Amino acid sequence: MLQVSADPIDAAQALRSFEAHASDAGAIVTFSGQVRPWASSGDVEILHLQAYSPMTETGIETAIRDAQSRWPIDHVCVLHRVGDMIPGDNIVFVATASKHRRAAFEAADFLMDYLKTKAVFWKKEQTASGAKWIEPRAEDYSDAARWKDKETV
């Protein structure tokens, strides 16, 4: 399942739905990302996220297929917010289900690296000192590079 929407993400509810959907799996891993309250230029008041549909969704679907080709995962859920958010809001929810935990952990980690660096989103932080568009951090790129040419275990 994939959803890119301005609707709030209820991670607890998303997990319950995913557990019901993936009750045959054996191992479920979830990740929720929240809007951070701080930025280099001060306290974050609003985080604005822009997507370009359907390019954003198409890219995430490709990453999901890539994850499925690398690890034996049975179910995947990616929920991503767009629009204006405040600190503490869930910005992303990723869940993976597999027969064994390692595949579920690694696939979720892989999808998050895609979402943090390659996904088609533009992000603007509003602080007391003004608004600033944010580009990926160097460590986001190096995190994503971990998966390059890596053989599936």
Partner 1 sequence: MQKILYFGRLSDVTGCQEERLEIPADIETAGALRNWLDKRYGAGGVLLDPTVRIALDNEIIFDGAPLHAASEIAFMPPVGGG
By rule CB under 8 A, what count of residues binds partner 1? Answer: 25
* Interface with partner 1, residue 44, by CB under 8 A: no
x-marked contacts with partner 1 along 71-110 as a string, rule CB under 8 A:
---------x----------xx------------------
124 binds partner 1, rule: CB under 8 A: yes
Residues 106 and 136 sit within 8 Å (Cβ to Cβ): no
Decide if residue 64 touches partner 1 (CB under 8 A).
no
Identified binder of partner 1 from the candidate list 8, 26, 37, 54, rule CB under 8 A: 54
- Per CB under 8 A, the segment of 5-13, 21-29, 65-73, 118-126 that binds partner 1 is 118-126
Nearest distance in Å: CB 55, partner 1: 5
Among 52, 65, 142, 145, binds partner 1 (CB under 8 A): 52
HSE-up (13 A, CA, CB side) for residue 75? 20
The smaller minimum CB distance to partner 1, of residues 25 and 95, is found at 95
Span near partner 1 by CB under 8 A; candidates 10-18, 21-29, 63-71, 112-120: 112-120
Within 10 Å of residue 48's Cβ, how many Cβ atoms? 15
C-beta separation of 127 from 46 below 8 A: no
